[in-house]
A = this chain, B = another copy of it.
């Protein structure tokens, strides 16, 4: 079964926003056993949008459309469906009343333009959207279901999970499931990972493997097609074991087990707390450590000391200290004291564009735990934003190893 994703919005073509929705929908469709062959962006243009919808219905077994159903005048998806499939536009008094009531309950008067959201192509069913004002739509054209979802990512994701996926699964019958597992690694380059796994890549079609570099991590995706998810999992298992055997300790997690999630688990197991002392990363490591629900169980806080005198007053590190591993270790030790934490991560460095004592891209990370401490110098390519993000990944990875008592060494 083949699905097509259509994202609507000139702002997507013009690059003013990235098409996150296509990724969310693609991931959900993969789990239902639908293959996506085409994922298309089209602008806020009635004629072109209608043509893209006609093409999608002709070549796919299901079409997921996102965007173009907001209250403003450039939201044309409803009109384009009517034009593409020669349908009349209807108006739902019931939905209009519900919308008005909702605005009133917030103590506000509804803008007139929101009434557009009570319109629907003849034959379509409205999918209630408790997270926003635009309802989703489903209609079936030439035996192909078309699901229309809002463009706002949170609303889209909600309706996708609540309405689209269950209906696709119910309609899918006996088709096979496509299931993927991702092994996440850090410490080896993409080419090194590719070479270590070359024969697995070439020899296997089901499960198949693929590689992906992202923010300093290299991910290996193992994908199996099978009758059901359990069978797919069983097929993935031996490939998973072989990949781990070859990549060794550089594999740190799977699927959405981020390094923060693993740090969290390890800290909770040990009843340890954590905090950070950051200069060049400006709070990014702390933000990452506090990103998970329940992080107050282990994350206590952070000191961002961007100027030398704050390194002194808040961390007890001499204001004349160089950008060095020694300084990073002193900052970590200072953070353990100031923040009363068991584990401290410290980051100093030269994120650019101007060098700071060290060449741009030199980022120094230190980790101190109740059992030891270590500093390491990362030399990172790219611009300021990339250097800060990769340094954050590096800092978290070194902390993960330190907490596990497996201090980092080249080659992992």
Contacts from A to B (Cβ < 8 Å): 9-20, 22-28, 30, 36-44, 48, 52, 70-74, 111-114, 131, 133, 152, 154, 180, 182, 189-195, 198, 201-202, 210-214, 219, 221, 276, 278, 281-287, 289-291, 293-296, 299-307, 309-310, 314, 338-340, 352-354, 381-386, 388
- Between A and B, 7 residue pairs with Cβ closer than 8 Å are A15-B24, A16-B212, A18-B18, A40-B41, A44-B210, A282-B291, A291-B384
- Shortest A233–chain B CB gap in Å is 17
Contact yes or no, A16 B12, CB < 8 A: no
Contact yes or no, A11 B382, CB < 8 A: no
Known contacts A40-B38, A40-B40; A352/B293 CB under 8 A = yes
Contact yes or no, A307 B301, CB < 8 A: yes
- Shortest A41–chain B CB gap in Å is 4
Of B30, B221, B304, B338, the residue contacting A302 (CB under 8 A) is B304
Q: How far is the CA of A214 from the CA of B289 in the complex (A)?
A: 24
- Tell me what chain A mostly uses at the interface: helix, strand, loop, or mixed: mixed
Candidate in A195, A219, A290, A384 with the most chain B CB atoms within 10 angstroms: A290
- Shortest A89–chain B CB gap in Å is 18
Contact yes or no, A293 B211, CB < 8 A: no
- Shortest A360–chain B CB gap in Å is 11
Known contacts A213-B152, A382-B154; A299/B282 CB under 8 A = yes
Q: How many copies does the complex hold?
A: 2
Q: How far is the CA of A36 from the CA of B45 in the complex (A)?
A: 12
Contact yes or no, A111 B18, CB < 8 A: no
Contact yes or no, A302 B301, CB < 8 A: no
Of B24, B195, B307, the residue contacting A111 (CB under 8 A) is B195
Contact yes or no, B14 A30, CB < 8 A: yes
Name the B residues within 8 Å of A41 (CB-CB): 22, 38-40
Contact yes or no, B39 A12, CB < 8 A: yes
Of B38, B113, B154, the residue contacting A386 (CB under 8 A) is B154
Name the B residues within 8 Å of A381 (CB-CB): 131, 154
- Shortest A285–chain B CB gap in Å is 8
- Shortest A131–chain B CB gap in Å is 7
Known contacts A287-B281, A301-B307, A306-B301; A16/B27 CB under 8 A = yes
Name the B residues within 8 Å of A285 (CB-CB): 283
- Shortest A195–chain B CB gap in Å is 5
Nearest B residue to A74 by beta-carbon distance?
B210
Top 4 closest pairs, chain A to chain B, by CB: A283-B283, A282-B290, A15-B27, A15-B26
Contact yes or no, B194 A71, CB < 8 A: yes
Contact yes or no, B190 A71, CB < 8 A: yes
Name the B residues within 8 Å of A18 (CB-CB): 18-20, 22-23
Of B26, B27, B195, B293, the residue contacting A384 (CB under 8 A) is B293
Name the B residues within 8 Å of A113 (CB-CB): 191, 194-195, 198
Q: How far is the CA of A354 from the CA of B296 in the complex (A)?
A: 11
